[in-house]
Amino acid sequence: MKKLALHWQILIGMALGVVFGVIMASFEQGKDLVQDWVKPFGTMFINALKLIAVPLILGSLIKGVSDLKDISKLSKMGGKTILTYVVTTVVAVTIGLVFVNLINPGNSITESTRQDLVSNYTESTQKYKDEAIKQQDKGPLQALEDLIPDNIIGASSENKNMLQVIFFAIFFGIGLILIPEEKSKVVKDFFDGFNDVILKMIDLIMLAAPIGVFALLAALVVESPSVDLFKALSWYALTVVLGLSSMIAFYILMVYIITRKKPTFFLRGISPAQLLAFSTSSSAATLPVTMERVNEHLGVEKEVASFVLPVGATVNMDGTSLYQAVAAVFIAQAFGMDLTLGTQLGIIVTATLASIGSAAVPGAGMVMLVIVLAQAGIPEAGLALIFAVDRPLDMCRTIVNVTGDAAVSMVIAKSERKLGEPEVMNWDDNYKH
């Protein structure tokens, strides 16, 4: 009997999780039962993916950089990667602003609904304000200062320190390039084997993906706010989703024009990573699967994928920046503010920079949104207006983040002549063992 493909298993798990969550939400003790006995399996699944994120980045980046054999190649690829990520982020923010100005979702918020939302989510909003104040209090060169860790073991203990891990891995890889090949060979062979082990661990973790996403979706449903609040925010959610969908269409077009790969090829290759991104709301947690899909199913050679994707998971947050643009204008509209063209151009710049500094973990976009609101002079209390639907939209924008990383990796691979045929032609064979 033919085994069901991985993406279908994940979709079935998600659907069953939603149905189970709806059923349990109708019982008095259903929410507690899901939180105590079902949600932990989803948490364990995310933790397992996060567990190998740092080892994967260390191993793959060190190997990828050292394989270049020439520092000039590294600087050339790094420059193209960062420039492409910045361009796609600007496109994302612009798309968000276009949609939010056309649809005007803030006009549907009534005064009573606004007051209800603010009162319900004031406590949660304050947490993000406090985090944003910490970010704003830092000096102008704090980002550069934070880039270099004083202890790589300490930096590796937190996924939010991914940029520090990337810096160390690139630095280590450069060191391998500069020493004689006979001395570096032992270290490179070690990281070759190390990467193979990590990839096999990914295969094993993905066997539990349908169960993990079932638990995550069931918990999300029973913990969701009331339906009345969702109705009041439906136009806002629709605006964000339309913007995110347009961004994915942009990626597909970009991949087709530059690499001549058909949309079906790209979407089939990356779909398991997209579904996982939707379930986990974390680019960092999805990174191991994204790297495996891009390398084995989209034909991007390892030396490109192992450099472009870890960098993208940290600095490329197109979905997050698009959402920040929509959310900022939506909140302004809800408070009856009329934003000038100059203010909205400022949002493009701030959202682009904020997305680079946004951690690849759930909810990080909320912290950076406070900075965007402050720059535009929009009341920070308006953060509470969007809190009710932030979680499901966070899941959607993570899909865009992951898709963008994959698309850029294909573009860079094409420019470096490192884009070939996929290693796995049947794109779910490696999960059938």
- CA-to-CA dists, residue 47 to 4, 52, 197, 326, 405, angstroms: 25, 9, 18, 31, 22
Q: 107 is written with which tokens? A: 């006009």
The answer, yes or no, to whether residue 427 has pLDDT greater than 50, is: no
**pLDDT tens digits for range 161-202:** 766 887 888 889 888 888 888 888 898 889 878 877 887 887
pLDDT digits (tens, 9 = 90+) for 223-274: 765 554 556 577 888 999 999 999 999 999 999 999 999 999 999 999 999 9
Helices (H), 207-301: 209-223, 227-232, 234-259, 263-280, 283-297
Are residues 274 and 293 in contact, defined by beta-carbon separation less than 8 angstroms? Answer: no
Q: Which of 89, 81, 82, 84 is nearest to 351 (CA)?
A: 89
What pTM did the predictor assign? 0.69
20 vs 15: CA distance, rounded Å: 9
Q: What is the CA radius of gyration of the chain?
A: 22
What is the rounded average pLDDT of the residues 282-298? 87
Confidence at residue 408, expressed as pLDDT on a 0 to 100 scale? 95
Contact of 307 with 287, CB cutoff 8 Å: no
Residue-range domain boundaries for the chain: 6-431
Instruction: Specify the fold of 6-431.
Output: Proton glutamate symport protein (1.10.3860)
| Contact call for residues 409 and 305 (beta carbons, < 8 A) | yes
Residue with tokens 């969702």: 230
